[in-house]
Structure 1
Amino acid sequence: MEQTLSNKAELIELDKKHFLHPTSSIQAQQKTGAPLVFTEGNGIYLKDMEGDMYIDGMSSLWNVNIGHGRKELAEVAAEQMNKLAFSSTFSGFSHEPAIRLAKKLADLAPGNLNVSFFTSGGSEANDSAIKLVRHYWKVKGFPERKKVITRKRGYHGVSMGSTSATGIPEFHAMTTSLAPDFLYAPTPYIVEGEFTEEDLMKAAQEVRKMIESEGPETIAAFMAEPIQGAGGIIVPPEKYFEEIRNICDEYGVLFIADEVITGFGRTGKMFGLEHWDVVPDVMTIAKGISSGYVPLGAVMINDEIHRELIKYSKGTLFHGFTYSGHPVGCAVALKNIELIEEERLIENAAEMGQELEKGLKYLEEKHWSVGRVRNVGLLGAFELLADRDKNTRFDATQGVAGKVVQECLKRNLIVRSVTYEGTDIIAIAPPLSITKEEIKDIISIFDDAVSAVETTLK
């Protein structure tokens, strides 16, 4: 143990000097070092260098859908590396894993989303979707159709285009320039005060007003997550996406669904929009496609868009990444999807989602500060409120959600908070392999953590 701790101290110092962490506090890293250094994973658990086990309540970054430590994916990766570690897909070259995965995705996707463009992850997928729809309109003779409507509190990634599509101001403030021609419609969520389902549905009509105000002839696409993840697990009203689909059809606007978080079983269905029987024109996927074992993402387009691109595109499509259709990534994704299907993890996500719902409602009944509980499958959240009857927020300086997250971490549960616009939201998204007993363990930790924080509030 002494040698391990010595090694940990060395690693933390090296981490401070040489590793600039994504979406982290640079100052905190230099002051306290990495809070945890993980060495192993198994199922829903992660083990750190001191041998302590933690429940990975967020599937790391919403992506380890099949759970940690699956040797089957390591074996497939090694087999593919030994056979064909890498081969370019530029200039029309191809290989079997990419072809097989593209066909499998076509079989799984709703409607006629039958064509895939591969990327290394979600940010690249969303960037590519934006470029492809603008290219689509340009080659068809409508270059003025370039504006993309997204939503406030929406998260689509951190590359230039996807950052610009993201509707969270903190991500915009980080940079000195953003891509032009992005518009941010309201999302069906009200931060504070009383509201009804009808109030939430007004967000859809705001999209219509925005299209009419800007001019339909200037709008390329509307882009949205079925359930907003980083924005706070915002679940839309029942008729919201049906209305959005109708609005897009009325004005000839393409509908891009960002299924990066909600895809591959997270919500108890293969893709999130299936809960509302709505089919997008373009769909972006990543995260759960490989359960995080290798970086991989894709843009899926429907047959109509594909036919038009074939008809009107001239010469080379000047867009692509070195690792588009990486053979190892595609092979691992195929095996990952096979395991999701064989082990009925989507069905398990739906069943365990019911258990999570029961647990969240228990927290709401027991704790005066817990309200607005919600989940779809294994994507859930609860909010911390000063007065939940009036939907009144705590003062942001109290940092209530952050305190609950820290109390959970003390009890070896990793979850995350969402505090944009003064909200205190706790998000939960465990691996789809989770059991009923493990759900109970999570709820028990939440119970203790909220109790600990509530004693400091009143």
Structure 2
Amino acid sequence: MSDTAFWHPFAAMGAVRTAEFVVTRGEDVWLWDDSERRYLDATASLWCVNVGHGRREIVEAVAAQMRELATYQTFGDFTNRPALELTRRLAALAPVPGAKIFLASGGGDAIDTAAKMAREYFVRTGEPQRTVLVSRENGYHGTHGFGTSLGGMPANRLAAPFVPDVVRVAYDDPEALEAELLRVGPERVAAFFVEPVIGAGGVLPPPPGYVERVREICTRHGVLLVIDSVICGFGRLGDWFGVDRFGIVPDLVVFAKGVTSGYLPLGGVVAHERVAAPFWEPGAAAFRHGATYAGHPTACAAALANLDLLEGDGLLKRAESLELTLHAALRSLADHPLVSEVRGGTGVLGALELDADRVAADPGLPAAVTRGARERGVLIRPMISSVGFSPPLTLADEHLDLLTDAVRGALDAVA
């Protein structure tokens, strides 16, 4: 293969430049490469193709919208019908009262929006000193300015210096959050960012009671709780925004990925009516923030068709059973000498943690296991010390044997 001109994200281009893996088409849980070889997509691209590949309903909705109005901005008082309908539906589904929806181009944009919104909320409510943002070790919140600063994966913390007034706490200890609030001074803290299940940081489900406890702590200290459901929303955890199972009411919810099943870029922030109030009251100044493609009519049309599929195909209900069968399938690999831990069971997400000594000796081990699985017809995701799984919600139980056979074969080959 000739040298490419495409600079891939998260890629060591010295190796990739003449060895690209070209995906040409997709159907349901399957992908094909440019040699017409078929693969089981056990990652749903990047955690997002929840309804499966090639859904004609989304394609047709997008084509129809593009024939009518492909694109137009929504700054000031401009809007369009798909943006109005999508925000109305999302507000009705949201786990907060009186929800208002701020649309963005994707998850990274939405994280920046939530961070700026949280700080500005306190400016408008008379507490401008509340600028500190708190996140968790191992967390991932994208690679934009605020997201890089909030991220808890050291390998991703490039291009310092970062956004100021950001601190991190242990990902699994709510008391560490309270201790840090008291150290910093809770009167200085604006928001705490939480993934219901940490995704790219290793697929780390929360300890029992964790989400509920941090909600209590944030409430007591007047700190906004921001739920980052970019990965966990739209069925991945069996509900719309990845928080219903925890029984809490967030202040802000960040979403993207599954809202369109990745068919077009779209993200946003759900704001509790209390947080939206100082921005929406008569005479309030504009929130001077937004993306060119916020409320993009074609992207919104894709999202509306995707919501129809999630509802009509019963995929949220399907996720409830699939999270159990996927976790059971991955547990069948726990006896492999290269596997030190199996994580999952909270949503249609899972990971195999690889032997720490082997990873320390060869940091490329997760990538090697991933390549081995690909050679055996299954696409999985390499992470820092583990390999991850997040298949489309349309995955059938009979596909799990192919998945586990391919991964076991890859582990054997590497071991």
TM-score range, shorter chain: over 0.9
Distance 1:78 1:154 in 2: 37
- The alpha carbon displacement at 1:169 in A equals 1.5
SS at match of 1:176: coil
Superposition map of 1:302-317 within 5 A: 302-311=272-281, 314-317=284-287
Note if 1:33 corresponds to 2:33.
no
- The alpha carbon displacement at 1:88 in A equals 1.8
Distance 2:223 2:107 in 1: 22
Distance 1:206 1:170 in 2: 23
Other-structure match for 1:187 = 171
Retained in 1: the 8 A contact 2:133–2:191?
Answer: yes
Deviations 1:158-217 (A, max 9, x none): 111111111112221x213211111011111xxxxxxxxxxxxxx211110111111111
Q: Which amino acid aligns with 2:290?
A: G
Q: Which amino acid aligns with 2:377?
A: N
The CA RMSD measured in Å over matched residues stands at: 1.5
- The alpha carbon displacement at 1:445 in A equals 1.1
Superposition map of 1:250-399 within 5 A: 250-311=220-281, 314-364=284-334, 366-375=335-344, 376-385=346-355, 393-398=357-362, 399=364
- The alpha carbon displacement at 1:393 in A equals 4.0
Deviations 1:355-387 (A, max 9, x none): 1122112111x42332421222311112223xx
- The alpha carbon displacement at 1:33 in A equals 3.0
Q: Which amino acid aligns with 1:130?
A: A
Deviations 1:106-154 (A, max 9, x none): 1211132611000000000000000011111111121110110001111
SS at match of 1:291: coil
Distance 1:96 1:75 in 2: 17
State how many pairs are aligned.
413
- The alpha carbon displacement at 1:81 in A equals 0.8
- The alpha carbon displacement at 1:444 in A equals 1.6
Retained in 1: the 8 A contact 2:278–2:284?
Answer: no
Distance 1:87 1:218 in 2: 39
CA distance 1:113–1:182, shift in 2 (3 Å):
farther
Distance 1:42 1:261 in 2: 21
Deviations 1:218-277 (A, max 9, x none): 100000100000000011111111110010011000000000000000122323222211
CA distance 1:64–1:139, shift in 2 (3 Å):
same
Give the structure-1-normalised TM-score: 0.87
Q: Which amino acid aligns with 1:358?
A: A
Distance 1:113 1:447 in 2: 48
SS at match of 1:304: helix
Give the structure-2-normalised TM-score: 0.96
CA distance 1:156–1:313, shift in 2 (3 Å):
farther
- The alpha carbon displacement at 1:395 in A equals 4.7
Other-structure match for 2:183 = 213
Superposition map of 1:27-426 within 5 A: 27-30=14-17, 32-34=18-20, 36-112=21-97, 114-172=99-157, 174-188=158-172, 203-311=173-281, 314-364=284-334, 366-375=335-344, 376-385=346-355, 393-398=357-362, 399-419=364-384, 424-426=385-387
Which 10-residue stretch deviates more, 247-256 or 355-364?
355-364
Percentage identity across aligned positions?
A: 36
Retained in 2: the 8 A contact 1:351–1:377?
Answer: no
Unpaired stretches in structure 2, ≥5 consecutive residues? none
SS at match of 1:372: strand
Unpaired stretches in structure 1, ≥5 consecutive residues? 1-8, 189-202, 386-391
CA distance 1:406–1:313, shift in 2 (3 Å):
farther
Q: Which amino acid aligns with 2:406?
A: I
Distance 2:283 2:121 in 1: 8
Distance 2:88 2:24 in 1: 36
Distance 1:108 1:395 in 2: 42
Distance 1:230 1:316 in 2: 34
- The alpha carbon displacement at 1:279 in A equals 1.9
